[in-house]
Structure 1
Amino acid sequence: MTLLNWDLWGSALSTVPLAALLLIYVTLLPRNSKSSRILPLVDIQDAIVPLSLRVVVVLVAALCVQTVYFGFPRSCIVPTLSLGMAKALSWYFTTQTAQHASWCTVTAIGTFSITSTRNPFTFTSDTHALSHVIASFLALGQIIYMLPKHAKMRSILWGFMLVSLMPYLANLYAVSFQQSSAPDFDYSRQHPVDALMEKAKNDFQRLSQKQSQTYKDAYAEYRRRYSAEPPPGFEAWYQFAASHQSPIIDDFDLIYDTISPFWKISGKEVLAIMGDAQRAPGGELWLCGFSGDSAKTQCSHPSRTDDRHVKLLFDTLSEDLRGTIPDLSFLVSHLDEPRVLIPRPSLGEKKVDSGHFNLTNLSHQPVWDAITKYCPPQTIPSAAKTKRKIETFGLPFVTDLHKAMDLCQHPQYSQMHGLFISPPTFRLIEGLVPILSTGATSTMGDILFPSPAYMEEGFQYDKTHDVEWDDKRNNLYWAGSTTGGFASGDQWRNYHRQRFVELGQNLGVQKHYYLRQRGHIVDRAESPFLNGRSFDVAFSRIFGCQAQACRDQKAYFNSKAWADKDRALQSRLVFDLDGNGISGRYYKLLASKSVPLKQTVLREWHDDRLVPWFHYIPISQGMREVPELVFYLTSTEAGQQRAKEIAEQGRDWFSKAFRQVDMTIYVYRLLLELARLQDPERKAS
Structure 2
Amino acid sequence: MGVMPQTDVVATFAQAYWFALAFLDYYGSKSPVEAEVEYRSRYGREPPPGFRRWVEYALANHAPVIDDYDIIAEGVHPFLNYSAAELTRKVDDALKDSIGKHSAICELASGSFGSGCRNWADPLTRLLGDAAPLVPDVKFLINFLDEPSVLPGNGAERSGNTESTSWADMSHHNMASTIAEACRDTESAVTNAPQTTGIRFVTNITAERDLCQHPEYASQHGFVMCPTTFHRLSSHVPMLSRAAPNPFADILFPATHYSLDSSLYSPWSDWTWSAKKNAVYWTGSSNGGKWSSETWRGGHRQRLVALATGRDDRQFTLLRSNDMDQPTNDEDASFQPYTADDIDTDLFDVGLTRNAGCASASVCEEQARFFGPLRRPDAESRPLRYRFAMDVDGNSFSGRFYRFLASRSVPLKVSVFREWHDDRLWPWLHYIPVSVDMGELPELVRFLTSTAEGQQIGRRVAEAGSEWYSRALAPKQQGIYLYRLMLEMARLQDESREPG
Output the TM-score relative to the length of structure 2: 0.91
- Counterpart of 2:60 (choices 231, 239, 243) is 243
Work out the CA distance in 1 between the residues paired with 2:138 and 2:425.
30
- Counterpart of 1:475 (choices 279, 283, 286) is 279
Work out the CA distance in 1 between the residues paired with 2:114 and 2:42.
34
Work out the CA distance in 2 between the residues paired with 1:628 and 1:549.
32
Deviation, structure 1 residue 320: 1.4
- Counterpart of 1:288 (choices 106, 122, 125) is 106
Which residue in 1 is equivalent to 2:129?
A: 319
2:151 maps to 1:341: yes
Deviation, structure 1 residue 464: 0.8
Which residue in 2 is equivalent to 1:622?
A: 437
Deviation, structure 1 residue 279: 2.7
2:469 maps to 1:664: no
**One-letter amino acid matched to 1:672:** L
Which residue in 1 is equivalent to 2:399?
A: 584
**One-letter amino acid matched to 2:131:** L
The answer on whether the counterparts of 2:189 and 2:212 sit within 8 Å (CA) in structure 1 is: no
The answer to which of 224-233 and 363-372 deviates more is: 363-372
Work out the CA distance in 1 between the residues paired with 2:162 and 2:420.
26
Work out the CA distance in 1 between the residues paired with 2:15 and 2:71.
23
2:365 maps to 1:365: no
Deviation, structure 1 residue 613: 0.5
Tell me the SS of whatever aligns to 1:425.
coil
Tell me the SS of whatever aligns to 2:457.
helix
Deviations 1:573-628 (A, max 9, x none): 00001111111110000000000001111000001110000000011111111001
**One-letter amino acid matched to 2:433:** P
Q: Which has the larger radius of gyration?
A: 1
Work out the CA distance in 1 between the residues paired with 2:379 and 2:281.
12
Task: Give the 5 Å matches for 1:107-506.
Answer: 190-198=6-14, 200-201=16-17, 202-283=19-100, 284-291=102-109, 293=110, 295-300=111-116, 307=118, 309-343=119-153, 345=155, 351=159, 353-354=161-162, 356-376=164-184, 394-506=198-310
The answer on whether the counterparts of 2:278 and 2:387 sit within 8 Å (CA) in structure 1 is: yes
The answer on whether the counterparts of 2:190 and 2:213 sit within 8 Å (CA) in structure 1 is: no
Decide which structure has greater helix share: 1
Label 1:539 to 1:265 Cα distance change in 2 as closer, same or farther (>3 A): same
The answer on whether the counterparts of 2:153 and 2:182 sit within 8 Å (CA) in structure 1 is: yes
Tell me the SS of whatever aligns to 2:13.
helix
Deviation, structure 1 residue 669: 0.3
Work out the CA distance in 1 between the residues paired with 2:368 and 2:362.
10
Which residue in 2 is equivalent to 1:114?
A: none
The answer on whether the counterparts of 1:200 and 1:612 sit within 8 Å (CA) in structure 2 is: no
Tell me the SS of whatever aligns to 1:340.
coil
C-alpha RMSD of matched pairs (Å): 2.2
Work out the CA distance in 2 between the residues paired with 1:532 and 1:366.
32
Task: Give the 5 Å matches for 1:558-573.
Answer: 558=372, 559-573=374-388
Tell me the SS of whatever aligns to 1:431.
coil
Deviation, structure 1 residue 341: 1.4
Which residue in 2 is equivalent to 1:26?
A: none
Which residue in 2 is equivalent to 1:509?
A: 313
Label 1:593 to 1:503 Cα distance change in 2 as closer, same or farther (>3 A): same
Q: Which runs of 5+ in 1 are unaligned?
A: 1-184, 302-306, 382-391
Label 1:518 to 1:322 Cα distance change in 2 as closer, same or farther (>3 A): closer
The answer to which of 438-447 and 401-410 deviates more is: 401-410
**One-letter amino acid matched to 1:205:** A
The answer on whether the counterparts of 2:97 and 2:166 sit within 8 Å (CA) in structure 1 is: no
Work out the CA distance in 1 between the residues paired with 2:461 and 2:322.
30
2:346 maps to 1:530: no
The answer to which of 528-537 and 591-600 deviates more is: 528-537
Tell me the SS of whatever aligns to 2:174.
coil
Q: Which protein has greater RCO, CA pairs closer than 8 Å, 6+ apart?
A: 2
Work out the CA distance in 2 between the residues paired with 1:479 and 1:364.
24
The answer on whether the counterparts of 2:217 and 2:225 sit within 8 Å (CA) in structure 1 is: no
The answer on whether the counterparts of 1:208 and 1:248 sit within 8 Å (CA) in structure 2 is: no
The answer on whether the counterparts of 1:341 and 1:444 sit within 8 Å (CA) in structure 2 is: yes
The answer on whether the counterparts of 2:169 and 2:231 sit within 8 Å (CA) in structure 1 is: yes
* Identity of matched residues, %: 37
Deviation, structure 1 residue 364: 0.8
Output the TM-score relative to the length of structure 1: 0.67
- Tell me how many residue pairs correspond in the alignment: 479
- Counterpart of 2:356 (choices 543, 550, 555) is 543
Work out the CA distance in 2 between the residues paired with 1:299 and 1:287.
9
The answer on whether the counterparts of 1:297 and 1:311 sit within 8 Å (CA) in structure 2 is: yes
Deviations 1:175-218 (A, max 9, x none): xxxxxxxxxx9xxx644432442463234533443210111110
The answer on whether the counterparts of 2:158 and 2:236 sit within 8 Å (CA) in structure 1 is: no
The answer on whether the counterparts of 1:338 and 1:437 sit within 8 Å (CA) in structure 2 is: yes
Tell me the SS of whatever aligns to 2:183.
coil
Which residue in 2 is equivalent to 1:612?
A: 427
